[in-house]
Structure 1
Amino acid sequence: MMVVALKQVGTTVLHREVLKMSVKTSDGDFVIGGIFSIHYYTRSEQNSYKWQPSQLQCSGRSVMDFRELRFARAMQFSIHEINNRTDLLPGVTLGYQIHDSCSSVPMSIKVAFQFASGVELVFNDTGICSKSAAVPAIVGESASTPSISMARTLGLFGIPQVSHYATCSCLSDKHQYPAFFRTIPSDQHQAAALARMVKHFGWTWIGAVRSDSDYGNYGMASFLKAAQKEGICVEYSEAYYRTQPRSKLERVANVIRRSSARVIVAFIASGDMRFLLEELARRPPPPLQWIGSETWIIEPELLRFNMCAGAIGFGIPRSVIPGFREFLLDLTPAEALKSPLLTEFWESSFTCNLRGRTDITEGARQCDGSEDIHALHNAYTDTSQLRVTNMVYKATYAIAHAIHGLICNDTQCDKNIKFTPWQIRNQLKRLNFTTRNGFQVSFDSNGDPPAAYELINWQFDKDGALDFITVGHYDSSKPRGQEFRMSRNISWVGTQTEVPESVCSESCPPGTRKAVQKGRPVCCYDCIPCAEGEISNKTDSLDCLRCPPEFWPNTKQDTCLPKPVEFLSWDDTLSIILTVFSIAGAFMAVCVAAVFYKHRTSPIVRANNSELSFLLLFSLTLCFLCSLTFIGQPSDWSCMLRHTAFGITFVLCISCVLGKTLVVLMAFRATLPGSNVMKWFGPPQQRLSVLVFTLIQVLICVLWLTISPPFPFKNIKQYKERIILECGLGSTIGFWAVLGYIGLLALLCFILAFLARKLPDNFNEAKFITFSMLIFCAVWITFIPAYVSSPGKFTVAVEIFAILASSFGLIICIFAPKCFIIVFRPEQNTKKHLMGKVPSKAL
């Protein structure tokens, strides 16, 4: 419990001082309180604790804010208008008691207690607060910080406070401020809208200044939080309040001058902004694009600072209040004398003495009645853009509607009904009406109205003077992405039409990614090219995307293109060359067969087993032609055909050579006395051996095709930038079984031919077979490393080359000598010549 002790002295003086606080009063059945920041400072005195401290008063040196005076007069006008209506509070009159807070928290709290308790000549120290509040509700305060103090105080008594200009988002907390309402949107909406607007224009590197008050600190905190979500970086964030030392103001101005950000967001009160702009005007910084909050972006007195030309920000929607201008101008010297503040306004506006005193303005004349208020051009008489004034109008009507809901029914009102401030608060929560000038009034669960702003742009008019131009609208009730609605072009800083740039680093083009510079904000980065196989297809990509397996980046690395599919196609130069050799080899085999057939009765053909020779030529023809199956795009049938055809034809070919070798070898063993070995190597046995050898390969191929056949597949691992379309082996065992069987027959044939190489054969058959097998084995032994190391389509080309080389080796070594004798040495193609060359043979 806090104990307060006050000395009850000077009660008459106290009564007189309390009455001085009132700007304007009017009696009524229900008196509504009002408080506005008409002055900026209070009179401060040193407390000696020897006598009772004097009451708080506004400083006589404080400059009057004519716009705030207009707000106070707007409350008066609203109540006059309500009292003249028959549909709202019929038969009931509203009064008002308007006070000046002097922009001071102590004065605001003092007025709050005054509203809660009324005028008390003596201090009530009984601890019993049985008296009801002096006012049912209050309009005001203008600033956020005094409003916070008032809301905490009035909330204890349950007295609703409807502010017209306190925008701090903190006041939406109903746990701390249960009786606070406002007709102006919360800064939470404005901060989010400002961040979205900054992001929309591509500014990622900004400066920020704020008032060092609840309004500026809470508003800037909300903005910075929203800006961070939008990826916006803040180079600096400075705070200033007009009562702080000048050195602080100079430091803030120097930070702005030295910064590299060309866009500055100012969440700052109009009074603080005036001080800051005056300081910057001493040594102007580079052209800046100003982004303003609602307090200063619509302040007419700041239009004299041309450095802010092109400034944009959110302002309260402009309105028209019918009859309000006439009410403001309906002020006579006699009426002005009834209120100290109206008297001060008259004397300040016309520089004359209205009260007959000489200490007001040095050298001022006496007001003589010639003063014409219609000729004044100041913030009091300027009704061209009624924005906050309309918020006062709405706040006053809201309280009137709340009272109407408590004491009135469909036909009449009972002004004798007693109600508590809490009932007024509950009525305010349920309000939803439209004012005479067409504006909707309602409050959400936080006591806030829907957020609606005009996008204001400072543009030069035809006369070269700055003016407020509405270029768009913002409505928070619209779906996300549709809140903004532009109505005309924006004039930017320097009257340029292009949006100015303000970035720490230039945008990273597609094909690169952003890499944050160490120790600097995320908006300061380097552009790093994407790694191999990766792309970025948009500007300022944070990461590069890896292309799908069958795609590869283009040269700019901004698009994934299908990888080129590589195989040995028919139109390839290498394919054409190999095809020519393949057909030429087959044609050669056919020609040799034709020569042999034509001379089939000649001794040289008959002596070398013509039947095996024709079968060998047939198999060689197939060997040449099977190489063609390796050319072209691999498919299921071509992959199975090429390997099986190759395996079977080569086994058939080697079987024939093996048969010829055995015939040569056994023919000379048969000449030995008592040997009848030739009966086991006659034509039937030769045919059978070739058939058996070939069937074994056929069986291997059938098993291979049945268990796991070759298949076409896209090889994407061997090369990163292209796809090799090739035939997979399927069963590796099957493939090596086919090759191994061919190799086994070739090795056996080579051994037998090597053993028979020195036999006295007139035509050196065994020697030629030995050479052919030597070439065959050499080709296929060197084929293996060449096949493994060859890239892409050249792998298939190596395989074709091996087939052609071994086939040409066989046909040239075995048949070329015989054809030479048949065609060019026919005299040697005789039985006599054949027999004469072998004297050891029995004829």
Structure 2
Amino acid sequence: MSLMTGGQVLVPNYVCRKGEDLVAIIGDLESSSTYMISQLIGLYHYPQISYGAMDPIFTDRVQFPHVYRTVPNQNYQHRAVVQLLRHFAWTWVGILSADDDSSERGSRDLKNLILSSGGCVEFMYTVSDNRQRENVEEKMMLSSARVVIVNSDVHSSSSVILHLSIMKSGKVWIFLSGLTYFQLSEVAYIPEVLNGSLTFLLHKGDIPGLREFIYNYTPYGHKEDYLLKDVWIGLFGCYPVLANINRAIPALDPCSGDETLESVSLHLYDVVNFRIVHSIYTAVYIVANSLHEMLMDKSHGIIMEPSIPERPLQPWKLNGYLKRLHFTSGSGDDIYFSKDGEITRDLDIQNWLIKSVDYTDKTSINVEDVQAIDVGTYNLSAPEDQRLVINDSHISWHHSFTQLPRSSCSETCEPGYRKRTESFHICCYSCVVCSEGEISNTSDADECVKCPEDHYSNEMRTSCLLKTIEFLSYDDGLGMCLALLSIILCMMTCAVLGIFWKYHQTPVVKANNQKISYVLLVSLLFSFLCSLLFIGRPMAVTCLLRQSVFGIFFTVSVSCVLAKSFLVVLAFKATRPGSKLKDWVGSGVSISVVVLCSVGQLIISMVWLISSPPFPDYDLQSDSKKMILRCNEGSAVAFYILIGYMGLLSLFSFLVAFLVRKLPASYNEAQLITFSMLLVCSVWISFIPAYLSTKGKYMVAVEVFAILTSSAGLLGCIFIPKCYIILVTPEMNTRQRLIGKP
């Protein structure tokens, strides 16, 4: 208030001081005091340049149009913290805040940023009165978070450090206030738990000539500086001999006069790496530069001819020059304000170490025992994902940690597992093994990755393995047996065909319609050979032909059996007196039946091959570890129509043969046909559920077995008895025995 009114009595809005123009206010270090000052002087539009207030609230240029800062706002610091947490994989943290509006507001913003980046905050406590402090201390000691972020302004840091003095080891402390030796000096003893902690500070800057000035600055040359006398007493343990020194000081030896600041180890005064001091230096430089530009700007009538009276200085005009300010400082820094009224400045990360301390005898340490090591930076001019640069090897953690500290709500999920959230905290989860066909090859995987279709997951669920290709091959034991059986049956069919050809003049062969028998034997021979198309690696040609070719040849076989059944019926009816069916008994009817029935199957096959032909395909779903190379039938409906047509002919042949099964012995072929068709129908009826219930090569084996069994049934039931008569009992191969005469 004295700056704005002057005089001995404070009179608001009245300036009684003469010849002293206030053009700007530099300060403060704290956000809370900067806020209060801006509210008081906002009416006067005085420029206010803060060298330490990092509260993001000042980016509101409507509410704070005349507040400028030589430091970045705290949002950048929060982003740096989030990248630091991500760098060390710390997902479960706590926040400790000082008891002021700025710190609490910043803590809330930091918490929201951590949550939005995928992390979790276990607690957010405020250091306040002693009663609340005890409660906070108890909760913090019981918390599982190993990393605690301390968010407080400069002057509140000492109270926070005292608050930590009773804390046990086992936590990593991250200070956002820019903890310095000067702040540590405000505490009598440093808590041992600070060993290994990290702190964010403004990037160090250079002030040309300041170091030499400080080293040459002594109370002997500046007798009016009483603060310097106290510094001399504190550093050297003696008092400078000056005429005006306070003699009430406890008995000390007088200084020799040769003492200099350069001769002592300055733990409290960093005269090499200026941080806050550099911000103050920049603020003063900005005001001086802007004021110079304003005074030299003739367009505002400030510099005029001597004859014209000088106009009073108007501080509010300085704001326009501050906003478009852009120059290079004496330290070589490019100085300008952003649209938010702040100067972009990088951040340094320091690691606090306590040197040579016996922890068993000492839990609190003097400030002289503390060492700060630069371990990283946060470059605000770099891309967002490349701003944090940290050297892990330079960091020393608290002695209670034998390796990199880990801070998470749950144990790490090993590769092969994924996280499953158990509570409202996304960081608290259980580990669930990946499902079959999925893997995770990293720790703490959020989701398992599905393997490609031609791969499967190993037992550990950590890698995908290529599936083996499976099909019914000739090298396989099952395929070899089926192929061998098919060849044997082919040889048997050829043998029967040879016997019938050799004994074609005998009554047994003549009585069974030689042409139909030959057609039946040839069709059975090709049916046996068709089974070989199902064995071996499926190819486009074999897939295209095997079902349709087998369907046609087996239909011819069943049609021949049906024709034989008709002939038996016609032959029996024709023997009755006065029957007119004698003209129908002959090969013409039987051939017509075979052709007619076979054409139906031929049409079905052609429609199938034209509309939806079969093709080689991989079945990737039936077996998790194998790729089944199969023939995709193209149209399942067409396949079942083809099988159904054969089944319908077989059933019809069975019914016809069954109706004449009790004919006299001389017509006993009807019984053989009945039995053979019963066998065929039984095989193909049982084939359907067996085919649908198997997968892979066994599905093909079931169909091959059905083909061989049904065809062998026809061969065995119809022709083997006749061959037995021809070869073993030739005395029965006579016309008399055939017609039942002695």
Contact 1:536–1:557 (8 Å) recurs in 2? yes
Residue 407 of structure 2 aligns with which residue? 502
Q: Deviations over 1:199-246 (max 9, x none)?
A: 211111222222222442233233222211222222222222xxx544
Residue 440 of structure 1 aligns with which residue? 334
Contact 1:586–1:624 (8 Å) recurs in 2? yes
CA positional deviation for 1:754: 3.4
Specify which of 172, 177, 184 is matched with residue 301 of structure 1: 184
Report the CA distance shift for 1:128/1:308 in structure 2 as closer, same or farther (over 3 A): closer
Report the CA distance shift for 1:509/1:123 in structure 2 as closer, same or farther (over 3 A): closer
Report the CA distance shift for 1:764/1:292 in structure 2 as closer, same or farther (over 3 A): same
CA positional deviation for 1:717: 6.8
- Equivalent runs, 1:556-635 vs 2, <5 Å: 556-558=460-462, 567-634=471-538
CA positional deviation for 1:714: 5.4
Residue 703 of structure 2 aligns with which residue? 799
Report the CA distance shift for 1:792/1:131 in structure 2 as closer, same or farther (over 3 A): farther
756-765 or 588-597, larger mean C-alpha shift: 756-765
Residue 699 of structure 1 aligns with which residue? 603
Residue 150 of structure 2 aligns with which residue? 266
SS in 2 for 1:504: coil
SS in 1 for 2:523: helix
1:835 equivalenced with 2:736 (yes/no): yes
Unaligned runs of at least 5 residues, structure 2: 305-309, 358-367
Q: Residues of 1 paired with 2:137 and 2:646: CA distance? A: 92
Q: Residues of 2 paired with 1:786 and 1:638: CA distance? A: 23
Residue 187 of structure 1 aligns with which residue? 74
CA positional deviation for 1:619: 0.9
Q: Residues of 1 paired with 2:192 and 2:266: CA distance? A: 19
Contact 1:183–1:449 (8 Å) recurs in 2? yes
Residue 80 of structure 1 aligns with which residue? none
Contact 2:441–2:462 (8 Å) recurs in 1? yes
Q: Residues of 1 paired with 2:719 and 2:160: CA distance? A: 107
Residue 768 of structure 1 aligns with which residue? 672
Amino acid at match of 1:154: I
- Equivalent runs, 1:640-651 vs 2, <5 Å: 640-651=544-555
Q: Residues of 2 paired with 1:539 and 1:793: CA distance? A: 39
Residue 419 of structure 2 aligns with which residue? 514
Amino acid at match of 1:301: L
Specify which of 444, 455, 463 is matched with residue 349 of structure 2: 455
Report the CA distance shift for 1:385/1:736 in structure 2 as closer, same or farther (over 3 A): closer
Specify which of 183, 191, 196 is matched with residue 310 of structure 1: 196
CA positional deviation for 1:712: 5.3
SS in 2 for 1:500: coil
CA positional deviation for 1:656: 2.0
CA positional deviation for 1:809: 1.0
Q: How many residues align?
A: 717
Q: Deviations over 1:643-665 (max 9, x none)?
A: 32222212211222233333344
Specify which of 357, 382, 399 is matched with residue 287 of structure 2: 399
Specify which of 158, 162, 165 is matched with residue 52 of structure 2: 165
Contact 2:570–2:584 (8 Å) recurs in 1? no
Specify which of 252, 276, 288 is matched with residue 171 of structure 2: 288
Normalised to the residue count of structure 1, the TM-score between the two structures is 0.76
Contact 1:336–1:346 (8 Å) recurs in 2? no
Q: Residues of 2 paired with 1:789 and 1:640: CA distance? A: 24
Q: Residues of 1 paired with 2:740 and 2:272: CA distance? A: 137
Q: Residues of 2 paired with 1:687 and 1:164: CA distance? A: 112
- Equivalent runs, 1:325-364 vs 2, <5 Å: 325-333=211-219, 336-339=222-225, 341-342=227-228, 345=231, 352=239, 360-361=248-249, 363-364=250-251
SS in 1 for 2:446: coil
Q: Residues of 2 paired with 1:816 and 1:125: CA distance? A: 130
Q: Deviations over 1:692-737 (max 9, x none)?
A: 3322332333334344445555566767776665555555664454
Q: Deviations over 1:667-702 (max 9, x none)?
A: 444444455634322234433332233223323333
CA positional deviation for 1:306: 4.3
Amino acid at match of 1:444: S
Q: Residues of 2 paired with 1:125 and 1:261: CA distance? A: 51
Q: Residues of 1 paired with 2:465 and 2:159: CA distance? A: 60
Q: Residues of 1 paired with 2:412 and 2:330: CA distance? A: 51
Report the CA distance shift for 1:116/1:346 in structure 2 as closer, same or farther (over 3 A): farther
Report the CA distance shift for 1:336/1:769 in structure 2 as closer, same or farther (over 3 A): same
Report the CA distance shift for 1:408/1:724 in structure 2 as closer, same or farther (over 3 A): same
Q: Residues of 2 paired with 1:196 and 1:423: CA distance? A: 41
Report the CA distance shift for 1:417/1:547 in structure 2 as closer, same or farther (over 3 A): farther
Identity %: 34
Q: Residues of 2 paired with 1:368 and 1:816: CA distance? A: 134
- Equivalent runs, 1:79-478 vs 2, <5 Å: 113-117=1-5, 119-122=6-9, 124=11, 134-240=21-127, 245-278=129-162, 280-281=164-165, 283-297=166-180, 299=182, 301=184, 304-333=190-219, 336-339=222-225, 341-342=227-228, 345=231, 352=239, 360-361=248-249, 363-364=250-251, 370=257, 372-374=259-261, 375=263, 382-408=270-296, 418-459=312-353, 465-478=369-382
Amino acid at match of 1:455: I
Amino acid at match of 1:814: I
Report the CA distance shift for 1:690/1:250 in structure 2 as closer, same or farther (over 3 A): closer
Q: Residues of 2 paired with 1:332 and 1:757: CA distance? A: 136
CA positional deviation for 1:476: 0.9
CA positional deviation for 1:452: 0.4
CA positional deviation for 1:530: 3.8
SS in 2 for 1:455: strand
Q: Deviations over 1:113-172 (max 9, x none)?
A: 33333x224555797999998321222222222121112223221211222222222222
335-344 or 614-623, larger mean C-alpha shift: 335-344
Contact 1:270–1:296 (8 Å) recurs in 2? yes
Residue 428 of structure 2 aligns with which residue? 524
SS in 2 for 1:493: coil
SS in 2 for 1:209: strand
CA positional deviation for 1:567: 4.3
Contact 1:144–1:214 (8 Å) recurs in 2? no
CA positional deviation for 1:775: 1.5
Q: Residues of 1 paired with 2:276 and 2:13: CA distance? A: 42
CA positional deviation for 1:479: 0.8
252-261 or 203-212, larger mean C-alpha shift: 252-261
Q: Residues of 2 paired with 1:370 and 1:749: CA distance? A: 133
Normalised to the residue count of structure 2, the TM-score between the two structures is 0.85
Residue 43 of structure 1 aligns with which residue? none
Q: Deviations over 1:399-443 (max 9, x none)?
A: 111112112379xx9596754222222212222222222233221
SS in 2 for 1:539: coil
Q: Residues of 2 paired with 1:265 and 1:169: CA distance? A: 18
Contact 2:569–2:660 (8 Å) recurs in 1? yes
Contact 1:172–1:446 (8 Å) recurs in 2? yes
Contact 2:574–2:582 (8 Å) recurs in 1? yes
Amino acid at match of 1:423: K
